[in-house]
Amino acid sequence: MDIKTLEEKCVFHRKKVLETCLRAETGHVTSSLSCIEILITLYYKNYIRQNPNDPNDDDRDRFILSKAQASPLLYAILADLGYYDLGELDKFAQKDGIFGVHLQHTVPGVESTAGALGHGLGLAAGIALRAKMDRKLYLTYTLLGDGELYEGSIWESMKFASHHNLNNLVGIIDRNYLCTTDFTENIVELEPLTDKIEAFGWNCIRIDGHNLEELDKAFANLRSRPSRKPTMIICDTVKGKGLDVMSFKPLCHGIPPKGEDAEKAKKELGI
Amino acid sequence: MKTQRDTFWDTLFELAKKDRDIIVISADMGAPSLDKFRTELPHQFINTGIAEQNTILVGSGLAKEGKKVFVYAIASFLTLNCVEKIRVQNAMMNIPLNIVGVGAGFSYPDSGPTHHLLEDIAVMRSMPNIDTLSITDATMAQAVAENYGSYTNTKYIRLERQPLGEIYNETKDISFEDGMTEIFKGEDTLVIANGVMLLKAHKLIKEHKLKCGLLDIYQIPINSKKLVEVASQYKRIVTIEETFLPGGFGSAVLESLNDHELSIPVKRIGIPIEKGFCYEYGGRDEILKYYGITEESILADITKGL
């Protein structure tokens, strides 16, 4: 898929996320918008190799969405790929819907239930270790939020993965610098993040998480396993990217815009 | 006498030699019986270090992909430090993991209250898709290991640290299928327990030639139908546990009886929460004494009204 088509997909999903959350009056708009280009690249450039007609294929790549706040985005992508009807998005967090605000493993194409943070990396490490044990060639990806890095279990799993040379494990950090109440560097400093991750024995790449070309380059060679180490890709992003009314602002987590802000947001995205 | 722990791991080791999908993960917990895994089956043994939450997560990842995983550590750390990990991975997603914890109750008497395990029954039974197997003796530990292939949900296998006694070793063809075993049939009073307290009650009943019944309920959630079947033959019940009383084993028995509207007076013996944690030393009996539980007091509670 060429860049232009990927960009169109980004526009489509940005709108879809906003529409879905506005309709449901719930859901994490800003957390989804910060990782749109990341997930679009992974899924539409076929870096995550899966077959919607065979969701349990043992050779599929695994994707663990640890920052489950971005579920409106993942649900929309999985629908667009054919796992289920796009109309399911209209029932997001509704009585007759198949999914809600966080992530559930019962949805086709979703590997794990999530919502509590600090789980994804360890779970992904176990899945990747199993591939090593059984000589399976699939890759295991997991997308973490930067606020999630405050969870101690992430660092337990980080040490474990490098010790076991899990070069079939790819961690991605959506580095949008914001938790719910404040910027990470005001809460408890996370930087220098690359140094910390490298010190835990990982390859660490840092890129612009909204730049499709940089993302493509970062994911391009992972399947050839250039090193014994697992790879972490820190993606610098903007929480709420594309929506001036809620981008890079504290206290915009987990709530869709309302009233005038909602109208402004729709206008910005061309809805 | 072999410990429950060594019997469990020795049994599993023989099974693991034939089943490469058996994976043992220790959170820096050693045992001679585990050393065999490390040296002879290194591809089926992982030491995660003192990182219990990661142990549960990695174990769940492996189990999600079809491995038969046994995670192992001191029981209080493996359960209470990991409740939310277990809740999401194992209770919510129903990824079947075998959580093997050693150190039930006051199994580590001299280690102080961080190692005393008094809340696990209440905590683990409050979540769906998890069966607690509170192991009574080594024969039962062996059976629980042997049955691994049939487990479709998470088992919390709760082991004693020291060898305390055997009651099932001379019993032929014991199935451990009902989640409970009626060890003695008796009159009037039925004593219900598991693990160390079952052994204690067993000894008292034999020594004093008491005519009460003895029921070993080692699986929680309790098989209520079977419990009601047994309990309805008695006038009075005494439960004994080495955990805090609120929400614990005796509570589980009470709930089962109540849900079946069976009105039998129940006396619960266990750790009174008002007494808090214990900083006494000098062995398990000294600690129990601190909480007002002695052989004499148990005997008095069992024989009351007889």
CATH number, residue B39: 3.40.50.970
Element (H, E) at B70: strand B68-74
The answer to whether residue B168 sits within a structural domain is no
What pLDDT, in 10s, does the model give residues B236-268? 999 999 999 999 999 999 999 999 999 999 999
pLDDT of residue A144: 98
Q: Do B54 and A122 touch (CB under 8 A)?
A: yes
pLDDT band at residue B305 under the 50/70/90 scheme? low
| Domain end point (choices B103, B124, B159) | B159
Give yes or no: residues B126 and B187 share one domain.
no
Q: What are the C-alpha distances in Å from A208 to residues A3, A175, A180, A248, B161? A: 16, 10, 22, 15, 53
The answer to whether residue B167 sits within a structural domain is no
Q: Is B220 helix (H, G, I), strand (E, B) or coil?
A: strand
Give yes or no: residues B155 and B186 share one domain.
no
| Domain end point (choices B125, B159, B193) | B159
Alpha helix positions (H), A103-192: 120-133, 152-163, 184-187
Instruction: Indicate the fold that domain A3-268 takes in CATH.
Output: Rossmann fold (3.40.50)
Which of A123, A150, A165, A169 to mutate to probe the B interface, most B CBs <10 Å?
A123
Give yes or no: residues B278 and B243 share one domain.
yes
The answer to whether residue B174 sits within a structural domain is no
The answer to whether residue B166 sits within a structural domain is no
Q: Do B61 and A118 touch (CB under 8 A)?
A: no
- Report how many domains make up chain B: 2
The answer to whether residue B172 sits within a structural domain is no
Give yes or no: residues B110 and B204 share one domain.
no
ipTM: 0.97
Q: Which residues pair with A204 in a beta bridge?
A: A232
What pLDDT, in 10s, does the model give residues B277-302? 999 999 999 999 999 999 999 999 99
pLDDT band at residue A203 under the 50/70/90 scheme? very high
Alpha-carbon gap, residue A50 to A232, rounded angstroms: 21
Nearest to B57 among A113, A122, A164 (CB): A122
Question: Could you tell me which residues come within 8 angstroms of residue A51 by beta carbon, excluding any fewer than 6 positions away?
Answer: A57, A60
Residue whose tokens read 């906003």: A18
The answer to whether residue B173 sits within a structural domain is no
Find chain B residues with C-beta within 8 A of A121's C-beta.
57
Whether the per-residue pLDDT at A162 is higher than 70: the answer is yes
Give yes or no: residues B265 and B294 share one domain.
yes
State mean pLDDT over B48-70: 98
Q: Do B61 and A122 touch (CB under 8 A)?
A: yes
Whether the per-residue pLDDT at A193 is higher than 70: the answer is yes
Whether the per-residue pLDDT at B157 is higher than 90: the answer is yes
Question: What is the C-alpha end-to-end distance of chain B, expressed in Å?
Answer: 35
Give yes or no: residues B128 and B210 share one domain.
no
Q: Provide the CATH number for the domain around residue B274.
A: 3.40.50.920
Q: Domain of B123?
A: 4-159
